[in-house]
Structure 1
Amino acid sequence: MVLLFLPDPVTEENVRALRAQTDHVYIVDNSPDDPSSARVRAALHEDPRVSWLPQHANRGVAAGFNAGMRAAIAAGYDEVVVFDQDSTITPGFIETLTRARSRVPEAGVIGPSLRSAATGIIYRPERGVGVEEKDVLISSGSSFSRALLERIGLHDEPLFIDYVDHDICLRARRAGYRNLKVYDAVLDHRFGDSAPTTLFGRRVYLANYSLTRIFHATRNRVIVTRRYGFGRWFWEDLWFTTKAWVKLLLLEEHRMAKIREAGRGVIAGLRYPARERRW
């Protein structure tokens, strides 16, 4: 399934690539009234292997993923792979993930290695060989089995966006499953704008996330930490978050507004009822 929100022209190509490797593609549209979505829908509406699931409003990443998962499971599929609209699969992607699941009976969430869509280079933490067990994987490009979802539930919808992938992966681990990164399955992915610039003589890429996303990312980081504690996932995420904030504070616009939203997010995260929600 593919989640849309104000999609750009490359989305149509991404969906066609998915259709070539899957039995069916469910498109969950969080912006059905926008012309950008209408263009993608017009290009794909006659394809019998593509189903369109328009939402009445932007319900967020978690609810969008869940809508596609429910549709796939209801149609009788035993495995569903979820994607953001800006993620592009590579040859053999789906088969590689499926083969990895078949070899590990207790497999939970199974995800790919990530390659920068902006540079064509695999991110350093994403380089490896074979299959490796991980605490968390990003949802885009990750595979979920029917058995897993029936046991642990779907994404936590009130989280809306950011850390919904951490939450479902850590929930799977808590239930005794093993989350697996499959290095032979490569996904071209874009974080935010991926706007190029220079910092200390090095080329870097800025996410330029909105104030809304800054708030939710900060709030949800606190919520997930309260739920699952300071495991390996936390320290890996802290390193990634620290680098992102260094770039934000030195190079991005609206820095003070983003700092204020992060502060609001921390307070909201501490006030949030941190019990697990299942959907």
Structure 2
Amino acid sequence: MAIAQSDGDFSAHVNVNLRVGAVVVFYHPDETCIRNANELAKRIRCVVIDNTERTAHDFGKRLEAGIDYLPSGKNEGIATALNRGVARLLQLGCDMALLFDQDSAPDDHLLTELPRAMTDILRADPRVALVGPAYVDERLGGGVPTPFVRFGLGRLLRVPALGPAPLDTDFLISSGSCVNLRFWRQIGPLQDDLFIDFVDLEWCVRAKRRGFSLYGIPWVHMRHSLGGEPVRVFGRAYPSHSATRHYYLFRNAVSLILRRDIPWSWKSSELVKMPVRLVIYALFLRPRWRHVSMAVAGIADGVRGRLGPLRAR
């Protein structure tokens, strides 16, 4: 996909068409996931990283011929998978990378508008590294776009995803985001040993600390489900995950809380959420002991600095 440039300054780089590619990460994909990737590949150059452990299934044979299919043979985690996909797009000469989960089904509006928004913003802010849509989780927010996040003094600021202008933000989730690959090597890849949770948060914080910008694009929406079926407590919906995922959630939260470069506003928010999550797991999820014990193990490993995949501890 090429985005034609209009008149304006792109820091001496606007006189060429920008090449945009997509990275999709598979993990035991179902037919819908494969169909989504095939539909995506009809509209944009697509790289699929397959984190599925070796099985009798050959997902590559069911993908469009134009897809770059790179099986890992094991679950390397979302960070490593996205890093591999971005590295491939860089080899192909791409200037921007759209990042997707396997169940993402982006429409043409997102595929067109995010690169266009990046191009437009670059005229005014030549150090923009990432733009992303407002995501909608019907189960948690009732169809209302989730606000963008800024790190305020001692607390997180929620910026409503409204209006016709890009919104300066401090954090964007990886799924559906558009990365400016000109700055990928300066910022560095995603942190592999975080494996899954808060991978995007760590990268965003690092990008901001190195002087780059992030923008939420409020007029672009993407449907995205956080975790499994939500747990409802006193009328409020909370995302739930597997016990193993809760291990990573708590481990990585603790690991980031202990780092000096992570904003205190995010740390304080997580410190409030963690005991609430533990109570919810103990009372509402089954098997209770499994969820709680994995969360506690994650806290212990986070304090010890044990990262990487769980089975390699």
Which residue number in structure 1 is paired with residue 118 of structure 2? 101
Which residue number in structure 1 is paired with residue 227 of structure 2? 192
**Residue 116 to residue 241, structure 1, CA distance change in 2 (3 Å):** farther
Deviations 1:90-125 (A, max 9, x none): 331022111221223211222111112658713442
Match of 1:230 among 263, 275, 299: 263
**Residue 241 to residue 72, structure 1, CA distance change in 2 (3 Å):** farther
Which residue number in structure 1 is paired with residue 162 of structure 2? 128
**Residue 49 to residue 93, structure 1, CA distance change in 2 (3 Å):** same
**Residue 272 to residue 189, structure 1, CA distance change in 2 (3 Å):** same
Distance apart, 1:239 and its partner CA: 7.0
Deviations 1:10-48 (A, max 9, x none): 2123213422442x110000116346x63x53332xx34
Match of 1:213 among 245, 248, 251: 245
AA aligned to 1:41 is: G
**TM-score, with structure 2 as normaliser:** 0.75
Any gaps of 5 or more consecutive residues in structure 2? 1-22, 149-160, 308-313
> Structure 1 CA distance, aligned partners of 2:293 and 2:100?
31
Deviations 1:186-208 (A, max 9, x none): 11111222x266543x373652x
> Structure 2 CA distance, aligned partners of 1:232 and 1:96?
31
Deviations 1:137-181 (A, max 9, x none): 111111112222110111111111111111111110011011111
The answer to whether the Cα contact below 8 Å between 1:111 and 1:142 also exists between their aligned partners in 2 is yes
Partner secondary structure for residue 73 of structure 2: coil
2:92 matches 1:70? no
Distance apart, 1:229 and its partner CA: 3.1
Partner secondary structure for residue 286 of structure 2: coil
Distance apart, 1:236 and its partner CA: 5.6
Match of 1:163 among 163, 183, 198: 198
The answer to whether the Cα contact below 8 Å between 1:86 and 1:190 also exists between their aligned partners in 2 is no
- Kindly indicate which of the two structures has a greater share of residues assigned to helix: 1
**Residue 133 to residue 244, structure 1, CA distance change in 2 (3 Å):** farther
AA aligned to 2:253 is: R
> Structure 1 CA distance, aligned partners of 2:54 and 2:32?
19
The answer to whether the Cα contact below 8 Å between 1:61 and 1:160 also exists between their aligned partners in 2 is yes
Q: Pairwise CA RMSD of aligned residues?
A: 2.6
**Residue 117 to residue 77, structure 1, CA distance change in 2 (3 Å):** farther
**Residue 254 to residue 199, structure 1, CA distance change in 2 (3 Å):** same
Partner secondary structure for residue 212 of structure 1: helix
Match of 1:9 among 21, 25, 31: 31
How many aligned residue pairs are there?
A: 266
Deviates more, 1:240-249 or 1:81-90: 240-249
The answer to whether the Cα contact below 8 Å between 1:4 and 1:29 also exists between their aligned partners in 2 is yes
AA aligned to 1:168 is: W
